[in-house]
Amino acid sequence: MIAMTLAEITAATSGRFEPAGTDASTETVIDGAVTTDSREVGAGGIFVAKRGEFDDGHRFAPAAVDQGAALLIVERLLELPVAQVVVEDSVDALGALATEVVRRVRAQGRLKIVGVTGSNGKTTTKNLLRTVLEQVGPTVAARKSYNNEVGAPTTMLELTEDTEFLVAEMGASGVGEIARLIRMARPDVGIVLKVGLAHAGEFGGIEKTVQAKSEMVTDLLPTDVAVLNADDPRVVPMAERTAARVVWFGLGEGADVRATDLVVHPQGTEFTITAPGGESARVRFSVLGEHHVMNALAATSAALELGVPLATIVTGLERVTLAEQWRMQVMGGRDDITVINDAYNASPDSMAAALKTLAQVKRPGSRTIAVLGEMSELGEFSGEEHDRIGLLAVRLGISQLVVVGEGARRLHITTINEGSWDGESAYVESADEAFDLVTGMARPGDTVLVKSSNSAGLRHLGDRLGEWFA
């Protein structure tokens, strides 16, 4: 975090300063990292004690002090020998502090902000942009999927006076959440990737999902840029909701930044990217899955608007070999058996994309095995969407399904009810059963996909299978 006095931090968070028995004064300067995780606190850092659904961060404040915290932001004064700022709501205070830090760094005139949202692909696009922009100047981007009311401001607080680019991943589970994040750091470039059924149960329907994702562009200024997916019929109307200049990305001829001549293989995807003005380049993209090409196009569109040359962008894209751990992560290798661990999260769109990729990378004469768990948070759409994925697996000719857990059982029922299959779908209750089944059935040359929502926990099954076949 940039250097601020305790008085400035107190004012930014609308809190009450308490020296709590230390010799710290309001003029003491703090410039350490800010975190809500006591295990991540370093010497001179700030620990924000956040109340959660199942625990209270105030319990871990003593551990944060032992780790070297110089300041606690708390909702009640604690009997600890460290300076404290007492606030009404720690999460609100975290956001307010982030807002002030962004304002101060932006006032220096160098900082450009890119906001990224969408039902799928946020983390991949953020990682691609970070790699591209780091070639040009100091860049801050979220770790992992830090995109909510806690993770996003924590990322913003990593800004320094030298930062030139902030890539802010902005997620939501309800209307108003992205708008809240944008009030902390309004983007110069706002990206909307795709609007699908991910979290539709939490949002209360697809219309609410569209409304929430639209918040990325509705408050942009005429001098800003909205980067929109020309291939998504739910994103296209957002052009009418923004005052910003619109840049379209996609596979169709109407896109400003588009990809053509796609070739998908087990090592990734090759495609030709064409920029506004007709400049083009061939990209050898190591991130597995044709659907990730759209994320590369979104990242390219934003980088071009920030003045990055196309050749530099291509170099950055080609440096990325993995979108993120547990996202189309290629593992295995023994007996030419490949394991694709894509079980960090799952929506109907990403599940379909992963199955299509599995079918595309199949080696001649070999088999495909899809280990699938529940797609969570779909609400009323859950049944029909699991049905749709089961039918898709059959139509793609996936050699063997292993369906794991009661939440995904309907997917199994649908596949066995499809008359073209006879025994190619197996149902098990647990990841351990799935491990035993897959390790017993896999043959040399097989490709195994593991895919589910995070809550199903199959990412660890993917790791086990990858290690087993290493």
| pTM score | 0.87
Question: Are both 203 and 279 inside the same structural domain?
Answer: yes
The pLDDT of residue 420 is above 70: no
Question: Are both 287 and 243 inside the same structural domain?
Answer: yes
Instruction: For residue 199, name the pLDDT band (cuts at 50, 70, 90).
Output: low
Instruction: For residue 198, name the pLDDT band (cuts at 50, 70, 90).
Output: low
Question: Are both 334 and 306 inside the same structural domain?
Answer: no
Domain assignment present for 100: no
pLDDT tens-place string over residues 306-358: 999 999 999 999 999 877 776 788 898 899 999 999 998 888 988 999 999 99
21 labeled binding residue: no
Report residue 93 as tokens.
């205070």
Question: Are both 71 and 176 inside the same structural domain?
Answer: no
Rounded Cα–Cα distance for residues 468 and 331 (Å): 10
Question: Are both 208 and 230 inside the same structural domain?
Answer: yes
121 labeled binding residue: yes
Rounded Cα–Cα distance for residues 93 and 446 (Å): 52
* Final residue belonging to a domain, choices 264, 284, 319: 319
5 labeled binding residue: no
Question: Are both 463 and 337 inside the same structural domain?
Answer: yes
% of the chain beyond a pLDDT of 70: 97
The pLDDT of residue 204 is above 70: no
H/E run at residue 449? strand 447-451
Question: Are both 194 and 231 inside the same structural domain?
Answer: yes
Rounded Cα–Cα distance for residues 462 and 465 (Å): 5
122 labeled binding residue: yes
Residues whose CB is less than 8 angstroms from the CB of residue 361 and which lie 6 or more positions away in sequence, other chains included: 264, 265, 266, 288, 338, 447
123 labeled binding residue: yes
pLDDT tens-place string over residues 433-450: 999 999 999 999 999 999
Q: Please state the domain count of the chain.
A: 3
Domain assignment present for 98: no
Q: What is the CATH number of the domain that holds 119?
A: 3.40.1190.10
Question: Are both 136 and 190 inside the same structural domain?
Answer: yes
Task: Report yes or no: 171 and 150 within 8 Å, Cβ to Cβ.
Answer: no
DSSP 216-268: HHHT--TTSEEEEETT-TTTGGGGGG-SSEEEEEESSTT-SEEEEEEEEETTE
Instruction: For residue 266, name the pLDDT band (cuts at 50, 70, 90).
Output: confident
User: Pick from 245, 296, 317, 307: which is nearest to 112 by CA?
Assistant: 307
Question: Are both 313 and 461 inside the same structural domain?
Answer: no
* Final residue belonging to a domain, choices 33, 62, 92: 92
pLDDT at position 208: 83
414 labeled binding residue: no
The pLDDT of residue 37 is above 80: yes
Question: Are both 363 and 214 inside the same structural domain?
Answer: no
pLDDT at position 469: 94
118 labeled binding residue: yes
Provide φ and ψ at 173, rounded to 5°. Answer: -120, 10
Task: Report yes or no: 216 and 115 within 8 Å, Cβ to Cβ.
Answer: yes
* Final residue belonging to a domain, choices 319, 352, 377: 319
Domain assignment present for 340: yes
Full domain range(s) for residue 454: 329-468
